[in-house]
């Protein structure tokens, strides 16, 4: 890897949903430190492209490289391992759940046997969520409060 290796590079990526060509041969590179915007009409394929990059949809053809290494993602957790994360334009919070449950939505922590038994490690999630929020200067008086009970 050199200083000019793209952080992310897509080559001729396509995505078909049956007869619909949602993404049709997209190629671009993102260099270190670059902030790239993706612009297009409604239905142009922006969201689909983001979903491919974040491992939610497999592409129909084309390839993706991260720091010069070819990657293929079977799931969002694969793309997360490469430090790819999607931040949605709406808050995308579940109002009925507390802060920690929202924080770990889709990447919940389980106790020892919990993954098998679907038993969540709420204590660990609460304390890690609190630590991360404190790190960015947000203090939540009551971590058990549901999102609907909190102000903006
Ligand atoms: N899961 C799906 N199944 C079938 N077709 C889909 C699916 N997701 C998206 N499409 C189609 O793919 C095309 C691209 O949609 P996409 O949502 O990626 O566009 P977009 O650029 O994000 O649009 P917008 O600006 O409205 O958000 C559209 O024709 C859409 O109907
Ligand atoms: Mg969209």
Q: Does domain 8-80 have CATH number 3.40.50.300?
A: yes
Residue 121 DSSP SS3: coil
50 lines ligand 1 (CB under 6 A): no
- Look at 16-25, 44-53, 86-95 and tell me which has the smallest mean pLDDT: 86-95
What are the extents of the domains in the chain?
8-80, 99-149
Kindly state the average pLDDT of the residues 4-12: 96
Q: Is the pLDDT of residue 61 over 80?
A: yes
> Which residue out of 13, 18, 45, 50 has the highest number of ligand 1 atoms within 8 Å of its CB and is therefore the one to mutate?
45
Kindly state the average pLDDT of the residues 117-145: 89
Of ligand 1's atoms, which has the minimum distance to the CA of residue 50? 18
Residue 131 DSSP SS3: helix
Q: How confident is the model at residue 37 (pLDDT cuts 50, 70, 90)?
A: very high
> Which residue out of 46, 58, 90 has the highest number of ligand 1 atoms within 8 Å of its CB and is therefore the one to mutate?
46
Q: Is the pLDDT of residue 114 over 80?
A: no
């Amino acid at each position: 890897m050199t200083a000019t290796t793209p952080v992310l590079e897509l080559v001729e990526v396509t995505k078909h949903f049956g007869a619909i060509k949602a993404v049709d041969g997209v190629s671009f590179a993102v260099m270190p430190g670059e902030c790239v915007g993706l612009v297009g009409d409604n239905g142009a394929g922006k969201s689909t492209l983001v979903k491919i990059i974040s491992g939610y949809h497999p592409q129909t053809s084309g390839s993706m490289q991260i720091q010069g290494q070819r990657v293929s993602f079977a799931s969002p957790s694969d793309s997360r391992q490469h430090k790819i994360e999607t931040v949605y334009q709406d808050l995308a919070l579940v109002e009925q759940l507390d802060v920690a449950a929202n924080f770990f939505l889709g990447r919940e922590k389980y106790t020892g046997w919990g993954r098998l038994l679907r038993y969540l490690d709420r204590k660990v999630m609460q304390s890690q969520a609190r630590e991360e929020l404190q790190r960015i200067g947000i203090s939540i008086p009551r971590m058990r409060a549901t999102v609907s009970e909190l102000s903006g």
